[in-house]
């Protein structure tokens, strides 16, 4: 993968052109726009972020890079369509999600949101300035002018098929798709594109109108996918939403959004855990996935290769079968840059699976923008569901598309490098993570399982743990899962058994897409086994959550309450 001379860490670059004037707003750490920014107001709603409560609209927004969900690009488009976007966004580390969102705003909708990459020393100078101006390719702050280089796409090595896409031979949608992919390749400092065999679409949740506007515009332009492409969880149970109490307008728009992607040739899988489907990617296979937990799992656990592609770029990749040859598509790009020694308390036992989201969440805190190697877990033998939970939680606090787990993941044995630094994740770090993710009430009105979607193994465990007991009166227990797992659960009689205990199982949608009244309006106390949902719950639902093991979640459903104190293995070490 030859590199161009425009390394974003070595030069100041104007990635998306435009002009801007505004006050600076500096975020000391990355921000996920999805689940972290209210698309209706521009206010930061991530309760765990240091800038919580501040408004980004009209500001010159500075952050090292983004983090978290691939869906941030869609949130940026929604803000732009409502006139609530930042005046400009500045980074000092490579970034893809918001960059792609700004490119779509510009190229498809004609709305300019300048994106700027700065050398760290210049970034820090702008961060200390109360205001800045961007004009004619220059940043102007008090006592200084910073020149910005334009992006050069002329160095790309394109195939005859690539050029055919660019010439419009395959229609307007394919032309726009390839133009965007080429621009992202130049931005990401590569001269080449790679072939990908599978795609996964993430921008299919009706979190805002922008996703529907984009999808239907692409249908109008004649977009069709050209590789096997699955689709993420959506905002409704596609076949049964009319009896759910959802507003008719919302249900119809959510269905239109899902149908638009199906019309473009996407398989109606409607799951945020595509790695649980039958056609799983293979070790070393290059794919083009979005959905942060799926990307991290595919790279980490399976050893497939995919960048954490932003929403909308996932569709462009599925249309062309091509992606920028950068990052984790190469062996060098998959190298660990930091080692994290996990000191698991000696009293921990394998039946307390809350350990895994805690590890993922705190590992992301220690490696917000680089691939870590996790040490100290070699003897623990995590299950598929343990790894699913770890990867999903890691994606809430890190922008990295993968991690390595010594003794578990395929490439971990190749990561031994005495030159990289080692940080220790201590017993106290795990306890602090537990406290941070357990801000909710102890009286539990709702137990939420399935973020990411529950596997058939998880459903079997839940049935065994319920063991015929009933949910506490006033406490609802809802599991979200994919269609494939649900069909297996029906055939095994698990659905009937769980429903007899008062448990509801829903396909197609997941907790990151559920709104009221499917999320019970009267519910105040929330319990989950998902570190991902515990992190995002307040921003999405207005309720803080409690986080516990699968067994503790079942106990909470039966008793109506969750323990206020951490597990004894966390308090005693």
Q: What is the pLDDT of residue 274?
A: 97
Give the residue numbers annotated as catalytic, written as ranges.
69
Three-state SS letters, 197-253 = CEEEECCCCCCCHHHHHHHHHHHHCCCCCCCEEEECCECCCCCCHHHCCCCHHHHHH
CA 54, chain centre distance (Å): 22
DSSP-H helix ranges across 38-153: 72-81, 97-107, 120-127
Q: What's the whole-number mean pLDDT along residues 141-164?
A: 93
Examine the pLDDT at 3 and tell me if it is beyond 70: no
Q: What is the pLDDT of residues 166-177, one digit of tens each?
A: 999 999 999 999
Q: What is the pLDDT of residue 5?
A: 38
What b/e string do you get for 294-308 counting C-beta neighbours within 10 Å, with b at 16 or more?
A: bbbbbbbbbbbbbbb
Q: What's the whole-number mean pLDDT along residues 416-436?
A: 92
User: What are the residues facing 134 on neighbouring strands?
Assistant: 20, 139
Examine the pLDDT at 418 and tell me if it is beyond 80: no
Q: What is the pLDDT of residues 93-117, one digit of tens each?
A: 989 889 999 999 998 899 999 999 9
Q: What is the pLDDT of residue 143?
A: 86
Quickly count helices (H) and strands (E) in the chain: 18, 23
Q: What is the pLDDT of residue 573?
A: 58
Spatial distance between the Cα atoms of 96 and 464, rounded to a whole number of angstroms: 43
Spatial distance between the Cα atoms of 241 and 245, rounded to a whole number of angstroms: 8
DSSP state of 44: B
Q: What is the pLDDT of residue 417?
A: 77
Residue 523 has phi, psi (to 5 degrees) of: -70, 130
Angstrom CA distances, 43 to 36, 53, 129, 344, 422, stand at 8, 6, 22, 37, 36
Spatial distance between the Cα atoms of 545 and 512, rounded to a whole number of angstroms: 13
Q: What is the pLDDT of residue 504?
A: 97
> Strand runs (DSSP E) across 391-431, as ranges?
404-405, 421-425
Q: What's the whole-number mean pLDDT along residues 540-560?
A: 97
Spatial distance between the Cα atoms of 514 and 236, rounded to a whole number of angstroms: 8
Mean pLDDT of all residues in the chain? Answer: 94
- Dihedral sign (CA 85, 261, 388, 246): positive
DSSP state of 301: I
Q: What is the pLDDT of residues 208-225, one digit of tens each?
A: 899 999 999 999 999 999
Give the residue, 254 or 143, on which the prediction is more confident. Answer: 254
Q: What is the pLDDT of residue 10?
A: 65
Q: What is the pLDDT of residues 527-542, one digit of tens each?
A: 999 999 999 999 899 9
Q: What is the pLDDT of residue 2?
A: 47
Give the residue, 11 or 132, on which the prediction is more confident. Answer: 132
Q: What is the pLDDT of residue 297?
A: 98
Confidence tier at 278 by pLDDT (50, 70, 90): very high
* Full DSSP string of 152-201: --TT----HHHHHHHTTTT-HHHHHHHHHHHHHHHHTT-S-EEE-SEEEE
Q: What's the whole-number mean pLDDT along residues 278-301?
A: 96
Structure-token pair, residue 560: 């109506």
Q: What's the whole-number mean pLDDT along residues 403-422?
A: 89
Give the residue, 47 or 461, on which the prediction is more confident. Answer: 461
Is the distance from CB of 279 to CB of 185 less than 8 angstroms?
no
Q: What's the whole-number mean pLDDT along residues 523-527?
A: 97
Helix (H, G, I), strand (E, B) or coil at 122: helix
Q: What is the pLDDT of residue 387?
A: 98
Examine the pLDDT at 147 and tell me if it is beyond 90: yes
Angstrom CA distances, 490 to 270, 278, 459, 496, 497, stand at 18, 18, 11, 7, 10
Angstrom CA distances, 537 to 51, 211, 251, 472, 528, stand at 17, 21, 22, 22, 10
Is the distance from CB of 412 to CB of 375 less than 8 angstroms?
no
Q: What is the pLDDT of residue 207?
A: 86
């Amino acid at each position: 993968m030859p590199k161009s001379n425009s390394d974003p860490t070595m030069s100041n670059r104007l990635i998306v052109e435009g002009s801007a004037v505004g006050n600076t707003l500096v975020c000391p750490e990355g921000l996920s726009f999805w689940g972290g920014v209210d698309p209706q107001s521009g206010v930061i709603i991530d309760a765990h972020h240091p800038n919580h409560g501040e408004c980004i609209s009209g500001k010159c927004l500075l952050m090292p890079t983004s983090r978290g969900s691939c869906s941030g690009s869609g949130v940026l488009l929604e803000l732009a369509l409502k006139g609530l976007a930042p005046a400009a966004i500045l980074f000092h580390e490579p970034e893809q999600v918001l960059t792609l969102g700004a490119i779509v705003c510009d190229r498809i909708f004609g709305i300019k949101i300048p994106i700027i990459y700065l050398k760290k020393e210049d970034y820090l100078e702008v961060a200390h300035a109360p205001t800045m101006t961007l004009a004619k390719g220059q940043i102007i702050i008090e006592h200084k002018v910073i020149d910005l280089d334009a992006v050069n796409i002329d160095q790309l090595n394109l195939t005859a098929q690539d050029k055919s896409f660019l010439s419009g031979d395959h229609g307007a949608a394919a032309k726009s798709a390839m133009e965007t992919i080429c621009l992202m390749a130049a931005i990401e400092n590569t001269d080449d594109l790679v072939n990908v065999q599978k795609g996964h679409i993430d921008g299919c949740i009706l979190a805002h109108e922008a996703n529907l506007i984009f999808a239907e515009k692409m249908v109008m332009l004649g977009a069709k996918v050209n590789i096997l492409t699955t689709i993420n969880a959506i905002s409704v149970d596609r076949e049964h939403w009319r009896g759910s109490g959802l507003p008719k307008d919302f249900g119809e728009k959510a269905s239109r959004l899902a149908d638009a992607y199906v019309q473009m040739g996407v398989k109606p899988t409607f799951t945020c855990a595509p790695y649980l489907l039958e056609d799983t990617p293979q070790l070393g296979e290059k794919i083009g996935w979005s959905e942060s937990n799926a990307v991290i799992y595919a790279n980490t656990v399976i050893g497939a290769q995919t960048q954490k592609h932003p929403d909308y770029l996932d569709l462009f990749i599925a249309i062309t079968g091509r992606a920028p040859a950068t990052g984790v598509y190469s062996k060098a790009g998959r190298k660990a840059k930091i080692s994290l020694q996990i000191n698991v308390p000696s009293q921990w036992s394998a039946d307390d699976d809350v350990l895994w989201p805690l590890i993922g969440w705190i590992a992301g805190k220690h490696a917000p923008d680089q691939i870590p190697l996790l040490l100290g877990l070699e003897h623990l033998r995590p299950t598929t569901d343990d790894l699913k939970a770890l990867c999903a939680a890691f994606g809430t606090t890190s922008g990295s598309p993968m991690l390595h787990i010594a003794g578990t993941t395929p490439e971990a044995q190749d990561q031994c490098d005495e030159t990289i630094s080692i940080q220790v994740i201590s017993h106290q770090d795990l306890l602090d993570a537990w406290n941070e993710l357990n801000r909710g009430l102890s009286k539990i009105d709702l137990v939420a399982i399935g973020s990411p979607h529950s596997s058939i193994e998880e459903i079997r465990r839940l049935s065994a743990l319920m063991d015929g007991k009933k949910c506490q009166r006033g406490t609802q227990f809802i599991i979200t899962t994919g269609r494939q797992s649900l069909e297996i659960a029906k055939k095994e009689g698990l659905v009937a058994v769980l429903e007899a205990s008062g448990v509801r199982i829903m396909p197609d949608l997941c907790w990151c897409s559920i709104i009221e009244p499917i999320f019970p309006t009267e519910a105040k106390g929330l319990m989950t086994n998902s570190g991902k949902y515990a992190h995002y719950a307040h921003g999405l639902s207005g309720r803080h959550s409690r986080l516990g093991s699968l067994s503790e979640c079942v106990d909470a459903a039966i008793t109506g309450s969750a323990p206020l104190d951490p597990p004894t293995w966390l308090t005693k070490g």
